[in-house]
Amino acid sequence: MAFDPVPLQLTAELFPNGISRYAVGGLLVGLGAVVIYVGTGIAAGASTFLESTLSYVSDQSRFQQYVASRDWRVVFTLGIVLGGLAFAATVQSGLVTTSLYEAGTTGELYEVGGLTLWSTSVQPWRLFVGGVLVGIGTRIGKGCTSGHGVCGVGSASKTSLVGVATFLTVAIVTAQIVAALGVSP
Amino acid sequence: MPLILLGGLIFGFGLGFSQMARPEVVLNFLQFEDFGLLFVMFGAAIVSGIAFAVLPRISDAAPLTGDRYERRLKPFDRNVLIGGGIFGVGWGLSGICPGAAYASLGVGNVTILWALAGMFVGAYAQGYWRSRAAETGTAPAGAD
């Protein structure tokens, strides 16, 4: 019997929620980016939306460079929001079930008109302060987890690889410190 | 535009399915409690990587825009490190990044509006500073 519980145990420790939901979700995220790239040649990133949308309401010279792309960026973001809603309406609501999806135990589920929706337990101040830093950092750093992480790494851009290594390392250190200080959730 | 909406839909559905729309799950990764996020990022990067590598060999230009399939590499400078560092602190504190925040709103997470409001404040603040810097010509302009 070639029975070796050690690797299995290790896998369970590293991936307590399994791997499939992450891998399948990741493939879909990549597929979404590819669909756009195939049709338009655009390597889509999510964080430029923050600045391009500000160009509708602000005359700051910095935002004017995004006037040409701001319309499709709104559509892309709307698509992402609706994609999340579609997920909520199907898999999260139990309308579609698949063994590839492991339901999480984080946050809180609530029902609205037959839809199972989800809300986070992470404190608003963390979301807001973190959001401000994300807004500053992604725009100075030329990209976020989609622009650098998915499209940049996918095109083997050295700039993006360095960018990802930087924000990943800093984020890990930050999250560990915040957790060590006893801030939860 | 319909294609961009479709791409966004798949992108957002994937973020929902992979639980990246949940800040808790991202924080669990950053705290080394669940390494699943690696599969999301690299899974997505592999898919896009194959497309970025193969498409230019099949066709010269994208059918809808006529834009050439090419790698538009962002130039590296100090800002990538500075911005990446600031983003890292924000991501580590909140567990949310821009794309996941949009998807999070879609799965019903109204609380995420705090993060989205913060992101717009942050993006506006850096735009304001850099517009000023560009006008007075004191700081190097970030060309990205």
Q: What's the pLDDT at A91?
A: 95
Could you say which DSSP state residue A116 is in? Answer: E
**Angstrom distances, CA of residue B6 to CA of A34, A68, A141, A146, B63:** 11, 20, 28, 17, 16
Tens digit of each residue's pLDDT (9 = 90 or more) over A7-59? 778 888 899 999 999 999 999 999 999 999 999 998 888 999 999 999 999 99
The tokens 């230019």 sit on which residue? B56
- Which of A145, A158, A176 to mutate: most B Cβ within 10 Å? A145
Beta bridge partners of A116: A111
Q: What's the pLDDT at A4?
A: 64
What's chain B look like in SS3?
Answer: CHHHHHHHHHHHHHHHHCCCCCHHHHHHHHCCCCCCHHHHHHHHHHHHHHHHHHHHHHCCECCCCCCECCCCCCCCCHHHHHHHHHHHHHHHHHCCCHHHHHHHHHCCCHHHHHHHHHHHHHHHHHHHHHHHHHHHCCCCCCCC
Cβ–Cβ contact A174 with B under 8 A: yes
Cβ–Cβ contact A158 with B under 8 A: yes
For A34, the closest chain B residue by CA position comes to B48
CB A127 within 8 A of CB B114: yes
Q: How many CA atoms lie within 13 A of A174 on its CB side?
A: 23
Q: Which of A100-109, A148-157, A165-174, B53-62 has the highest mean pLDDT?
A: A165-174
Taking contacts as CB-CB distances below 8 angstroms, the residues of chain B near A111 are none
Within the 123-152 window of chain A, which residues sit less than 8 Å (CB to CB) from chain B? 124-146, 148-152
Tens digit of each residue's pLDDT (9 = 90 or more) over A56-72? 999 999 999 999 999 99
| Crossing angle of the two packed helices A20-40 and B37-58, in degrees rounded to 10 | 30
Confidence of residue A2 (pLDDT cuts 50, 70, 90): low
Maximum pairwise Cα distance, chain B: 48
Chain B: give the shortest CA distance to residue A4, in Å. 22
Residue A104 has pLDDT above 90, yes or no: no
Q: How far apart are CA A142 and CA B81, in angstroms?
A: 10
Q: What's the pLDDT at B144?
A: 54
Chain A: give the shortest CA distance to residue B115, in Å. 4
Tens digit of each residue's pLDDT (9 = 90 or more) over B43-67? 999 999 999 999 989 988 898 888 8
Does the beta-carbon distance from A157 to B96 stay under 8 Å? no
Q: Which of B34, B96, B106 sits opposite A127 (nearest CB)?
A: B96
CB B20 within 8 A of CB B40: yes
Within the 56-115 window of chain A, which residues sit less than 8 Å (CB to CB) from chain B? 58, 60-63, 71-72, 75-88, 91-92, 101, 104, 106-107, 110, 112, 115
Number of Cβ within a 10 Å radius of residue B42: 19
Q: Phi and psi (nearest 5°) for A62?
A: -55, -40
Does the beta-carbon distance from B118 to A185 stay under 8 Å? no
Rounded (10°) CA dihedral B83, A31, B45, A65 = -30
For A86, the closest chain B residue by CA position comes to B13
